[in-house]
Amino acid sequence: MSRLEGHASSARTQSVLKRLRDEYGPKLPILLLSLEVACRQPQADVETVRTQLEEMIRSIHLIETNHKLILHYIDQLTSADAMSGMRCLQKYILHRLLPESNVVWVEQSIVKYVAVHCNSRSTASTSTIQALQNDLDTYYNALQSGMSLGASQAAQVLI
């Protein structure tokens, strides 16, 4: 396929996705299709993936499979850009998980946040370590109780 055909195909795909979004709104299949298309681009635009993922986080009903889907796409975003992945995961924790009060999902996501933060090459400075401490304090205060022993130990091992 030539480069020109690739651009035409991409433009058609974006046109179809736009019509689907306009007609049906932020439904899960449309959001998933949009995310898959954005992630499979040869040079995925991190900002587009992050924006679509945040729309998914805001709009879908939280059940176990949707929670796993969100974490999967956060992993994909994190592999492309760790800072964008951490910001997206932080929004997911603060704006969706903590208000829902599903402690198991909150703990899983906090441990994932710590892992991403600690594995990112750009987080070795004192300011980012302080930011991690502030984020963990925010999560602790919002939880209204401590994390379970297993989740606390997992986070400590990662740190």
pLDDT in tens, 1-29: 444 455 667 778 878 888 888 898 878 88
Instruction: Provide the b/e sequence for 83-118 (b: ≥16 CB within 10 Å).
Output: bbbbebbbebbeebbbeeebbebbbbbbbbbbbbbe
Rounded-to-integer distance, Cα 46 and Cα 28, Å: 20
Outline where DSSP puts E strands in the chain: none
The pTM score is 0.80
pLDDT for residue 88 is more than 60: yes
Q: What's the pLDDT at 4?
A: 41
Rounded-to-integer distance, Cα 22 and Cα 58, Å: 17
* Pair 57, 99: CB distance under 8 Å: no
Q: What's the pLDDT at 96?
A: 93
To which H or E segment does residue 109 belong? Answer: helix 103-119
Question: Comparing C-alpha atoms, which of 98, 104, 105 is closest to residue 138?
Answer: 98
**Fold held by 3-158:** 1.25.40
* Pair 82, 113: CB distance under 8 Å: no
Q: Where are the domains of the chain?
A: 3-158
